[in-house]
Amino acid sequence: MTHLELGENGRQLLDQLFDKWSLLVLDALCDHPRRFNELRQHLPAVTPKSLTACLRRLERNGVIERVILSTEPVAVEYRISPLGRTLQDPLQTLLRWVGNHLDTVDASRSRYDQRHTHS
């Protein structure tokens, strides 16, 4: 595998895509468009402030779209953009890897913590 130099912009994008909530928000929006409160219900641990900041970053980076619905009252829906849709396969692969290996990672963390808290 060759080393890819992403530069500052690339590192910044990776930081924003791999922050605390972005991958889970993108995963939720790959299923179907959702309103803000639907996202909050889907991710109950996220605070409204953190979710708002996450949605703004993802929209700014072009991977989600904010759509104003002409309902009464007016509502806002978030959906995956065509660019964001290109992340779906790698995202699913990464989330599947986490699900498949979380027990092993937890055991490794435990061993590490035991070695380093008793030294």
DSSP conformation letters of 11-75: HHHHHHHTSTTHHHHHHHHHHS-EEHHHHHHHSTTS-HHHHHHHHHHHHHTTSEEEEEE--SS-E
The closest of 103, 105, 85 to 27, measured between CA atoms, is 85
pLDDT per residue over 32-49, tens digit each?
A: 999 999 999 999 999 999
Locate tokens 């991710």: which residue? 43
- In the sheet with 34-35, reading across from the earlier edge strand, the strands are 34-35, 75-80, 64-69
Distance of CA 111 to the CA centre of its chain: 28
* Model confidence, pTM: 0.85
Whole-number pLDDT of residue 48: 96
Average pLDDT over residues 87-112: 95
Locate tokens 């290996």: which residue? 101
Average pLDDT over residues 86-97: 94
Whole-number pLDDT of residue 3: 64
Q: Is the pLDDT of residue 27 over 90?
A: yes
Average pLDDT over residues 4-8: 85
Q: What percent of the chain has pLDDT over 70?
A: 96
Query: What span, in angstroms and rounded, lies between the C-alpha atoms of 89 and 49?
Result: 28
Whole-number pLDDT of residue 101: 97
